[in-house]
Amino acid sequence: MQKIISLFQRNYDGDRLVRDEVTPGAEWVLNGEGIPTIKWDGTCCMIKNNEFYKRYDAKHGKVPPIGFIPAQEPDPITMHWPGWLKVGSDKEDKYHREAFSEQQYWEDGTYELCGPKVNGNKQKLTRHILIKHGDTVAGTVDLPIPKPITFDALKSFFAAIDGQAHKDIEGIVWHHPDGRMVKIKKKDFGYKW
C-alpha cells in the first residue's frame, strides 16, 4: 500500500500544518466522490495469500532490511520509503500475531492493527484487532462530514467534534471506487489527537 496522500498540501518548511491548497490527485474528494471512513489510529499491515506483513518505513535513505517489499518509490521530499516486512516470531510482533490469530483465513488487503498496546489505544479497545481499510461497516460512524467539502468546512468540523461523540477519531479517509485513497487528520489543522 502506497502512502495515502493528504487532502491538502502541508507546510513542510514551517508549522507542518495543512494549508488551503488541494494536493494534486485529491481533487475528486472535493467533487464529492468516494466514501468517507474513520481513520483508525493504529499501525498499517497487509495480508496477501494469508501471509501477514507489517509496515516498515525506511527513513532518510536508510537501507531496508532483508525481506523488505517496497510499496512505492522513496518519497522525494521526506525520503520515507514505505514497504512491508513479514510478521515474525519476535517479541515486537506479538500484538500483530495476536490479532491475526483471531481468524483462520483473511481476505487479501491492507488493515489497521489497533488495540491496547498500539499507539496509546486512543479508541479504547480491549483486545488487538485488524480493521480492513475501506471497511464501511467498521469504518463509518454517521460522521457529519460537511458538504461541500472545503478547507474551512473541514477545519470547523474537526474543531466542532472536539469534546463531542466523535472526538476520538484521528481523521477521515476517503475511498474511491477505483482504489485511490485520500486522508485528512485532526492534527493537520493543529488540533490535538
pLDDT, tens only, 69-95: 999 888 887 888 999 999 999 999 999
What tens digit of pLDDT does each residue of 177-189 get? Answer: 888 899 999 899 9
Pick from 123, 132, 160: nearest CA to 144 = 160
C-alpha cell at 1: 500500500
Owning domain of residue 113: 5-189
The Cα 44–Cα 176 span in angstroms is 19
Global pTM?
A: 0.77
Confidence grade of residue 163 (pLDDT, cut at 50, 70, 90) = low
Q: How many domains does the chain have?
A: 1
AA identity, residue 116 = P
Nearest CA to 170 out of 3, 1, 6, 2 is that of 6
Residue pointed to by grid coordinates 468546512? 153
Mean pLDDT across the stretch 40-53? 92
Given a cut of 90, is residue 191 above it in pLDDT?
no
Residue 38 pLDDT > 90: no
- Mean local confidence (pLDDT), 1-17: 87
